[in-house]
Amino acid sequence: MFYIPLIVGSTRRDRQSIKVAKFVLARLQQCPGVTTELLDLLEYNFPIMEERLHRRDDPPPRLQEFGDKIGRADSFIIVTPEYNNGYPGVLKNALDYLLPEYERKPVGIVTVSAGGFGGINCLAQLRLVMLGMGAFPIPENLSVSRVHDSFNEDGTPNDPAYEKRAATFLEEVLWFAEAIADRKAKEKSAAG
Ligand SMILES: Cc1cc2nc3c(=O)[nH]c(=O)nc-3n(C[C@H](O)[C@H](O)[C@H](O)COP(=O)(O)O)c2cc1C
């Protein structure tokens, strides 16, 4: 069983990315052999990062829980809007709290924008950041443009093309999760 949680990186009032997060979560829940859940930064409400989790003995509320979930994940997915060609500060703040938890972990990135470009600049930046953290962003991505019109509140897409694109994206997330899990299992059995 693979555990693949999904982080939603928008806490903005009237946030649209939550619709996309609900969609991806629902499709991931349909994948056999996968458990998942939404890690919502709005609910975690972490304070400004003063020090990383592994160096703190007084972590803010629920940070340990967040770290444990990423730490035991086989892979994880980030759904993020594009803000000023980048990703939201609240997402970077949360990601910066962790480090060993990301080691050799595949991450799938879903970007969201109100315009027609689907958050492509934010994708490039977040990929670089994840590499810096020791995770590796998978080559496939899912980008959502014109989010106000393309998704309903309950997370159903208005454009059927998103079903196919999400299926391809999740297939790749699972491929990398499985490949890494196999390798880690091999190392574990070699170590006795
Ligand atoms: C602070 C801010 C900056 C934004 N900058 C960009 C941008 O650089 N490129 C873009 O395509 N959309 C940009 N947008 C539009 C967002 O992608 C759009 O509002 C989307 O709905 C944001 O996701 P959210 O609703 O989950 O916050 C920006 C929106 C905000 C609030």
Range of the domain at 166: 2-173
For ligand 1, atom 12, the nearest C-alpha belongs to 113
Select from 23, 80, 83 the residue to mutate for testing ligand 1; criterion: most ligand atoms less than 8 Å from CB.
Answer: 83
Q: Which atom of ligand 1 is nearest to the CA of 84?
A: 8
For residue 186, is it within any domain? no
Q: From the CB of 10, is ligand 1 less than 6 Å away?
A: yes
For residue 40, is it within any domain? yes
For residue 144, is it within any domain? yes
Q: Produce one character per residue of 135-166: b if its CB has 16 or more CB atoms within 10 Å, e if not.
A: bbbbebbbbbbbbeebbeeebebeeeebeebb
For residue 49, is it within any domain? yes
For residue 185, is it within any domain? no
For residue 78, is it within any domain? yes
Total domains in the chain come to: 1
Cβ atoms of 144 and 111 within 8 Å: the answer is yes
- pLDDT above 90 for 192: no
Give 112-152 pLDDT, tens digit per residue: 999 999 999 999 999 999 999 999 999 999 999 999 999 99
According to the model, what pLDDT value does residue 70 have? 98
Q: From the CB of 16, is ligand 1 less than 6 Å away?
A: yes
